[in-house]
Amino acid sequence: MRYFLEFAYLGTAYHGWQRQPNALSVQEVLEDCTGTLLGAKIDLVGAGRTDTGVHARKMVAHFDRPEPLPEDFVERLNAFLPRDIGVAGVRPVTPDAHARFDALSRTYRYELVQHKDPFRIDSAHWVQRPLDFGAMNRAAALLLEFTDFKCFSRSNTDVKTYTCTIREARWEAEGDLWVFTITADRFLRNMVRAVVGTLLQVGKGQLQPEDVKAIIKSRDRSEAGASVPAKGLYLTDIVYPEGIYTDG
């Protein structure tokens, strides 16, 4: 049987989602704890990668197991896991369901504060300089006109295509937070952090909103802004076709 595992994690202590040879990853911890609980080696296939220090409020991975899971599987697994990783649920899916390739969309948010907040020092990016969020939103809207985002991709990556379909990209105030939300069918390595870094240049008056078009058309990472810190980035949602689930 194949299962989708939904979980969240605070990425501060981890070198991203994917298992690393010489560094602690979320995948390693989750696979080891799940394997210990079930008494068998468990291989998790995640919906995608998150970089070192990036957080996830909703991440999904699939795994296979011949027997049904214990009824108290989620509760027992959470007892095994460290406090910065939490499992929200597990659902049976069709045998060929794939956490990465069957995802219809993914949503990230980037959190930014404009004042020094000791309680958000590890979870949001502090920008002291005044920002023009109106100009930043005008620039963000231009992203929806393009599909090739090589300029925002990490260099020397092994991807075969730089094509992504962005469905929303906007800045909104949430109390004393400014939040950038972006949804697409897929994302490139480092893409969201590079997008936010470029939009911050617009907000600071270093670029005009229309300059973003030329940056995207250049397909040159050096033309875009510097990547913002990972601590403000959260994977918040992954959407799948309802027909993928077998529990109704």
Q: Is 19 left (phi over 0), alpha (psi -120 to 50) or beta?
A: beta
Catalytic residue among 32, 43, 51, 64: 51
Q: Torsion over CA of 67, 70, 74 and 78, rounded to 10 degrees?
A: -100
Which one-letter DSSP state was computed for residue 27? H
Which of 200, 206, 185, 207 has the alpha carbon at shortest distance from 232? 200
Return the structure tokens found at 73.
């599987």
Which of 198, 206, 153, 162 has the alpha carbon at shortest distance from 180? 198
64 is catalytic: no
Element (H, E) at 170: strand 166-174
Phi and psi of 48, rounded to 5°? 170, -175
Q: Which residues are catalytic?
A: 51
